[in-house]
């Protein structure tokens, strides 16, 4: 059994889920997922497998790791075929009563037309922050660091930080190695040389502030905790460490709370100008500067709010909108085009290519943008141009009105909770809040006349 293996637990292992919707992809092929733990003793797993065999249940996937809760136990993650739903209750009962296993059911086929679960409080982001879809401590065979045992061990250290983090805690500081700082320095130096001519005004306005207050230097990798505190003073955004890629639904849900899930690891030193996944260069050089801008922060949060409770097909559309705006967006500045997308601002090659006149450039029309196909591992063949962040926000608001959701939502920054606006009391509270803010606005206008 590989003790370094990290399969993704869909919730903390001590929690039994009650929500109607658990995980975006688990039910697409009628798959049921379970986690169970067993004492490390001879024949324990054989008894479990025999139980499944006796009830004619087919396991499609099984993984194991040492338990993080009890040192003398192992945890197993399994997938069953959806056709086994009728026998599931008996299986769970047998595992608990006959074998003494601790069992947690993670998914069943969701009911048609039910609203997908979404977090209501910022603390509930803890429930899915470790549901990474790829990478983390495990790397694909084509990853530059796949054959490097030192790099893989280092990635496990970063994964441990993310897995153990809970909302409200300070983000653990990392002592980066000289090699890691050298890789950062190469990327930092090359990209900074392009920002004055290629990056949007908002990015160039914030970047010197990050150098002054957050340790952005060629020979220093900034700490997420310092940046998170800085962002909170600017726009209320904060960072949260994550081990790898989240599902679109989970990642966008974080934005609804003005939380950005950020990696802490850095790309492999053998290819400093390439990474097949988001890394700290992408997060800190591409994303962070714009999250300090109030207008862009509002745009990002509204994409997140639109995702809460949205059907799967609209999540895909919103994720595509995010891709062509927050990741690879261009905007107008006078007669010029500038980059504001993090995927561009963290890629020396694509930042130049996107403004070279070679790729196709289209105006940002969300109904069209939301269904545009795109490559993940190569330069984009098409980029969409926003007139301004204000214009992008207005288009997003109109687009989100088409989401078939039986309620509206708003974020309450005082309670850090999502308020579902589906009854008269909630609407009255919102009206009172708006009325109060309007009073402040009118009073201020009177004083500056």
C-alpha closest to that of 5 among 132, 128, 118: 132
Give yes or no: 408 in active site: no
What backbone torsions phi and psi does residue 192 show, to the nearest 5 degrees?
Answer: -60, -30
- Which of 103, 136, 132 has the alpha carbon at shortest distance from 32? 103
Catalytic one of 282, 302, 307, 408: 282
The total of other beta-carbon atoms located within 10 Å of residue 158's CB is 23
The answer to whether 397 and 302 have CB atoms below 8 angstroms apart is: yes
Residue position matching structure tokens 């996944």: 277
Beta bridge partners of 72: none
Question: For residue 277, what is the DSSP state?
Answer: S
CA distances from 404 to 82, 252, 262, 315, 316 (A): 27, 17, 30, 12, 14
**Residue 327: active-site member:** yes
Give the chain's end-to-end CA distance (angstroms, integer).
73
- Contact (CB, 8 A) for 222 and 216: yes
Catalytic residue among 248, 346, 347, 354: 346
Spatial separation of the C-alpha atoms in residues 236 and 402, rounded to whole Å: 28
CA 129 to CA 166: how far, in whole Å? 9
By DSSP bridging, strand 330-333 and strand 102-107 are: unpaired
Sheet with 31-39, strands from edge to edge, namely 59-66, 73-81, 31-39, 102-107
- Between vectors from CA 448 to CA 447 and to CA 449, what angle results, nearest 5°? 95
Instruction: Say whether 287 is catalytic.
Output: yes
Distance of CA 211 to the CA centre of its chain: 25
Catalytic-role residue among 327, 347, 350, 354: 327
Full DSSP string of 57-81: --EEEEEEEE-SS-TTEEEEEEEEE
| Per annotation, catalytic residue among 287, 300, 307, 354 | 287
Rounded to an integer, what distance in angstroms lies between the CA atom of residue 55 and that of residue 47? 13
98 touches 46 (CB < 8 A): no
DSSP notation for 131-174: --SB-TT---TTSTTTT-HHHHHHHHHHHHHHHH--TTSPPPP-
Any idea what the Cα angle at residue 116 is, between residues 26 and 342, rounded to 5°?
80
Residues involved in catalysis: 282, 287, 327, 346
């Amino acid at each position: 059994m590989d003790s370094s293996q990290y399969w993704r637990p869909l919730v903390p292992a001590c929690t039994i889920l009650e929500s109607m919707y658990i995980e975006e992809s688990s039910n697409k092929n009628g798959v049921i997922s379970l986690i169970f733990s067993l004492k490390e003793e001879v024949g324990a797993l054989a008894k479990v497998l025999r139980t499944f065999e006796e009830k004619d249940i087919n396991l499609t996937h099984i993984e194991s790791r040492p338990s993080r809760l009890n040192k003398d136990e192992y945890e197993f993650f399994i997938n069953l075929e959806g056709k086994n739903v009728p026998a599931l209750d008996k299986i769970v009962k047998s595992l608990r009563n006959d074998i003494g296993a601790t069992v947690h059911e993670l998914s069943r086929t969701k009911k048609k037309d039910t609203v997908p679960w979404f977090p209501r409080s910022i603390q509930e982001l803890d429930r899915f922050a470790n549901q990474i879809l790829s990478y983390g401590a495990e790397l694909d065979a084509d990853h530059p660091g796949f054959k490097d045992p030192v790099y893989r061990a280092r990635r496990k250290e970063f994964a441990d930080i993310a897995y153990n983090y809970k909302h409200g805690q300070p983000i653990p500081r990392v002592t980066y190695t000289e090699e890691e700082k050298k890789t950062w320095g190469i990327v930092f130096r090359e990209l900074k040389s392009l920002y004055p001519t290629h990056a949007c005004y908002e990015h160039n306005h914030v970047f010197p502030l990050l150098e002054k207050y957050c340790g952005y230097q060629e020979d220093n990798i900034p700490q997420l905790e310092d940046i998170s505190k800085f962002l909170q003073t600017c726009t209320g955004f904060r960072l949260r460490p994550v081990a790898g890629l989240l599902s679109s639904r989970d990642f966008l849900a974080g934005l609804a709370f003005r939380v950005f899930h950020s990696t802490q690891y850095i790309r492999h030193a053998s290819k400093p100008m390439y990474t097949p996944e988001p890394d700290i260069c992408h997060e800190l050089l591409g994303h962070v500067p714009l999250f300090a801008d109030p207008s862009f922060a509002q745009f990002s949060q509204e994409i997140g709010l639109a995702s809460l409770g949205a059907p799967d097909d609209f999540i895909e559309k919103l994720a595509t909108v995010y891709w062509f705006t927050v990741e690879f967006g261009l905007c107008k500045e006078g007669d010029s085009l500038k980059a504001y997308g993090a995927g561009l601002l963290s890629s020396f090659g694509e930042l130049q290519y996107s403004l070279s006149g070679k790729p196709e450039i289209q105006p940002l029309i969300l109904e069209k943008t939301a269904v545009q196909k795109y490559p993940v591992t190569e330069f984009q063949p098409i980029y969409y141009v926003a007139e301004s962040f204000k214009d992008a926000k207005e288009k997003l608001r109109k687009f989100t009105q088409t989401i078939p959701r039986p309620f509206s939502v708003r974020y309450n920054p005082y309670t850090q909770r999502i308020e579902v606006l589906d009854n008269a009391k909630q609407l009255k509270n919102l009206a009172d809040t708006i009325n109060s803010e309007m009073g402040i606005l009118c009073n201020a206008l009177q004083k500056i006349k």
